[in-house]
């Protein structure tokens, strides 16, 4: 198994060393090439298929190899040499037998528990609420007084004024 199939290899930074490109592995903290031997943090996710010139996951390759739907495009996958040379070993070890994959400690995301929310009451400080026991606390109620709405007055023209019609001039 080589580093070229590892998830950490593809997520690592690409560095130019001399005339060749080398990656700086995030996990091992050293420069590696695609044919470097895999470490204990080997995490295979996908690989580059030479025949179809695309990236495939190992489960996709396995289903193309089985070709249960008898698709013409995948008939050659049953005789794939790339499968025999390197992919079979990884597929058998990590995907068919379901071996657990080790993740480095510094890449494990810690799950934080959410903090309890406290509702702050208006006009009270935190220390006042902490000192008083619950039995002494009083909740202010709304006023139950019913207010009558103000009477509306309608402004009208006085009766002594008559309407006047203005005519336009032509």
| Per-residue pLDDT in tens (0 to 9) along the chain, 170 residues | 777 778 888 788 888 877 778 888 888 888 888 788 888 888 888 888 888 888 888 888 888 888 888 888 888 888 888 888 888 888 887 776 666 666 677 666 665 677 777 777 676 665 555 555 555 666 677 767 777 878 888 777 666 766 677 788 76
Is position 167 within any domain?
A: no
Query: Domain boundary residue among 99, 115, 142?
Result: 99
Q: Which residues, in sequence order, are CB contacts of 7 under 8 Å at separation 6+?
A: 43, 44, 45
Q: Tell me the Ramachandran region of residue 153: left when phi exceeds 0, alpha when psi lies from -120 to 50, beta otherwise.
A: beta
**Co-location of 59 and 35 in the same domain:** no
The pTM assigned to this predicted structure is 0.47
In terms of domains, do 58 and 48 share one? yes
Range of the domain at 19: 1-43
Q: Are residues 23 and 60 in the same domain?
A: no
Residue 84 lies in a domain: yes
Location of structure tokens 């690409």: 14
pLDDT for 56: 87
pLDDT, residue 34, reads 79
Based on the fold, state whether residues 61 and 17 are members of the same structural domain.
Answer: no
Residue 50 domain-assigned? Answer: yes
pLDDT at position 51 is 86
Cα 26 from Cα 9, distance rounded (Å): 8
Contacts of residue 100, defined as CB under 8 A and 6 or more positions apart, other chains included, come to none
51 plus 29 within the same structural domain: no
- 81 and 55 in a common domain: yes
Tally of domains in the chain: 2
Residue 108 located in a structural domain: no
Tell me if 129 is assigned to some domain.
no
Asked if 19 and 61 sit in the same domain, the reply is no
Question: Does 94 share its domain with 68?
Answer: yes
Element (H, E) at 15: strand 13-17
Domain-embedded: residue 48: yes
Give the whole-angstrom CA distance, residue 106 versus residue 110: 10
């Amino acid at each position: 198994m080589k580093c070229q199939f590892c998830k950490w290899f593809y997520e690592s930074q690409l560095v130019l060393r001399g005339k060749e490109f080398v990656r700086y592995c995030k996990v091992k903290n050293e420069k590696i090439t695609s044919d470097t031997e895999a470490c204990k943090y080997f995490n295979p996710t996908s690989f580059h298929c030479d025949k179809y010139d695309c990236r495939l996951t190992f489960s996709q390759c396995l289903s193309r190899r089985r070709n249960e739907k008898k698709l013409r495009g995948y008939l050659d996958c049953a005789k794939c040499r790339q499968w025999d040379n390197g992919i079979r070993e990884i597929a058998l070890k990590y995907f068919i037998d379901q071996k657990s994959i080790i993740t480095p400690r510094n890449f494990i995301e810690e799950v934080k528990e959410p903090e309890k929310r406290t509702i702050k009451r208006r006009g009270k400080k935190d220390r006042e609420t902490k000192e008083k026991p619950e039995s002494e606390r009083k909740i202010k109620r709304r006023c139950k007084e019913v207010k009558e709405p103000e009477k509306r007055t309608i402004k009208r023209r006085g009766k002594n004024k008559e309407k006047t019609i203005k005519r336009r001039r032509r």
